[in-house]
Chain A
Amino acid sequence: MWLVFVQIFPYAVTYTIPLLITALGGLFSERSGIVNIGLEGLMVIGMFTSALVIYTLEPVYPGTAVWFGLMAAVIAGSLFSLLHAFACITLNANQVISGIAINMIAGALTTYLARNITGSGNILIVHSLSRKTIPVLSQIPLVGRLFFTQTYATTWVVLAILALSSFVLYKTVFGLRLRACGEHPHAADSAGINVYLIRYIGVMLSGALAGLGGAIVIVTYSGEFSGTASGLGFLALAALIFGQWKPAGILAATFFFGIASTVANVSQVIPALAVIPGIILKTSPYILTLFALVLSSKFSQVPKALGEPYDKGKR
């Protein structure tokens, strides 16, 4: 069993990382009080932008095009999320409807543009990111084999962002303000915090990170933009809730989802894993999230002002 675990571990990590960074993006938005079910669409924007940039720059900068693509996805994601921020924060629109609109616009618009560019609506990149083995660390027994062989550079970037986000959220003034806006915006306002500005930043961070998540899918395991994130954004949303809106919880939830999906995907190749039916593995993230919601209904960690438009005049 250990051998099987070691075998599938790199794939599970590859699948976990985009989910992790997208869910982390969702965390910034939701901890500031804005529901973001547009994560799926923001991922699609990241996928499209990265694929397009890499496709265009590949002939010129074969080695570094991937990194330009990732950066472009971050920028595009945060700019696109402004649509959601404007609707929810400035216009007090229904956050769920706006999120759905974001998903639909992203899917349709990117496919429309891709068809104008390539004809087929798919954008294929030639050079994906390659897996690397880290020289010294990979020699450590057990751990070295697991964590430091066959890794993507993006995995380390994402883990660094996770650590940084944890620090920002709990140890800095900005983090405190962000959480205050999600828990009790009126109190935050009377303490002199600009609730609107903080929420704009929260939503834009979610766009940036979800865009990065989409781009990582493209440069690691997919290699092709095809107009959809196939539900990864919604899975990230489930992870955000299952992880109870906390960075460490999200890490655990996404890793679990990553393992479950990988086991389901490879169970036909590895007979030892075929004992668990695929349907159970694939639906487990969603069923567990429902259970988590039921259990947490008594002592929920959900940001208290989540989904409520901030109205200065209401006390």
Chain B
Amino acid sequence: MKPNTGKYVQQLRAIKVTINKEYVLAFVAVILGLLAGAALMLLTGNNPVSGYYYLFRGGLMNVERVGNTLATATPLIFTGLSVAFAFRTGLFNIGASGQMLIGGLFATAVGLTLDWPKPLLLPVMVFAALVGGGLWAALPGWLKARFNVHEVVATIMMNWIAYWTVFYTVPRYFKGPFLETESQRIPYNASLKLNSLTSLFGGSYINLGIFIALLFVLIAAVILERTTLGYELKAVGFNRHAAESAGISVNKNIILSMTIAGALAGLGGATFYVGYASNMQIGVLPSHGFDGIAVALLGANTPLGVLGASVFFGLLHTGKGFMNAMTRIPPEIADTVMATIIYFAATSIMVERVWTRWRAKRGGVR
């Protein structure tokens, strides 16, 4: 045994402790968000206990609902992974919504153009979505690497370019038979929905996307934790200058990280537009991109954390309709809770300060 093994073990412990702390802070943010939601329900004359009861029941009460929760979580897992992946390289991907739209557009275009058998068509569609989203994010990555254009602004611009691209492309080339504002319906052989899976979950929206998502949670975790690529990406995120002097090409890794992030979001687009939904609506920038930021933040930017947080958000999204039907509480309470959770996650330093002060008062040792 090498003499410095003890040091490594110590370092490992330190890493474990910091991750634990991040999960604790995320948990506190969730609790505070739920409390804020409860306060809002009280203020508007509603009963928060029954509100939350029906909210959670609505997402869990039978296999169909559970299926819907998973189906709603699927695109969130992808956008969450996308944001988390870029974040590990020190990049902020606000453009997951746009990348999702382009991924969805590519998948839809392939699905409506080719009339191939399902097992052959689906991989091509999914790959098209991956390429579309990846390319859409590669541009801001390149702008960042080459011209030092801030990726936050660049990806926001790319979101709206994607929005208008879909707005004009879908009616022009893939117009549905009834409305100007939506594409044709995706035929069954081009849909990620599987009859046997749908009936297993009592007719829910669940589709093959969830399995692709689980696969990519695993892939992302392996890339980040077990490969040289992941090590280099994280090294750039920790300290650009140190990485540079260690011979890691910062610019290459920035472009690569954004491209992978975009590809993940593009896959999310496929699972949403040709999985969960059955056609593409124009004039909507999907909220998943921003929810993805929340999910990544709550999941401490780790693939497993993202998975957990996505399922939680999926649960809230699925339960809100049921809650609205059973009580008189508007469904937007769920969105308010989620938004408040992000705010509390962003300001978690406040919790940390209170915690430290409390510990100091008790005379405890940190």
Contacts and interface: CB of A to CB of B under 8 A. Distances in A.
B153 A283 contact: no
A96 B151 CA distance: 11
A282 B168 contact: yes
Contacts of B335: 104, 107-108, 111-112
A98 B297 CA distance: 12
Chain B interface, >50% SS class: helix
Interface in B337-366: 338-340, 342-343, 345-347, 349-350
Given A87-B347, A108-B335, A282-B167, 12 more contacts: A35-B152, A91-B349, A92-B349, A100-B290, A101-B342, A101-B343, A234-B159, A238-B157, A238-B160, A283-B160, A290-B157, A293-B147
B343 A98 contact: yes
A97 B332 CA distance: 21
A17 interface: no
A87 B160 CA distance: 27
Given A104-B335, A111-B332, A290-B143, A97 B346 contact: yes
Given A234-B160, A241-B153, A279-B165, A101 B147 contact: no
A140 interface: no
A279 B164 contact: yes
Interface in B118-135: none
A231 B163 contact: yes
Interface string A170-209: 0000000000000000000000000000000000000000
Contacts of B290: 100, 103-104
A234 B297 CA distance: 22
B165 A116 contact: no
Interface of B: 40, 44, 92, 94, 143, 147-150, 152-154, 156-161, 163-165, 167-169, 285, 290, 293-294, 297, 330, 332-333, 335-336, 338-340, 342-343, 345-347, 349-350
Given A97-B293, A231-B285, A277-B168, A83 B350 contact: no
15 contacts: A37-B152, A86-B347, A87-B346, A97-B346, A101-B343, A108-B332, A108-B336, A111-B335, A116-B44, A277-B168, A278-B168, A286-B157, A289-B157, A290-B149, A297-B147
Interface size bucket, A side? 35 or more
B347 A98 contact: yes
Interface in A218-236: 231, 234-235
Contact of A283 (B152, B161, B293, B349): B161
A274 interface: no
Contacts of A277: 168
Top 10 A-B residue pairs of the complex, sorted by shortest distance between their CB atoms: A104-B339, A108-B335, A115-B330, A101-B343, A112-B332, A279-B168, A286-B157, A108-B336, A282-B164, A105-B339
A109 interface: yes
A219 to B, nearest CB: 24
Nearest to B140: A290
A297 B149 contact: yes
A241 B350 CA distance: 32
Contacts of A231: 160, 163, 285
Contacts of A92: 349
Contacts of B143: 290, 293-294
A47 to B, nearest CB: 15
Nearest to B152: A96
A121 B147 CA distance: 44
B332 A37 contact: no
Contact of A237 (B156, B165, B285, B330): B156
A97 B342 contact: yes
Contact of A234 (B156, B167, B349): B156
Interface in A83-97: 83, 86-87, 91-94, 96-97
Nearest to B337: A108
Contacts of A35: 152
B258 to A, nearest CB: 14
Interface in A274-308: 277-279, 282-283, 285-287, 289-290, 293-294, 297
B190 to A, nearest CB: 25
B292 to A, nearest CB: 10
Contacts of A105: 336, 339-340, 343
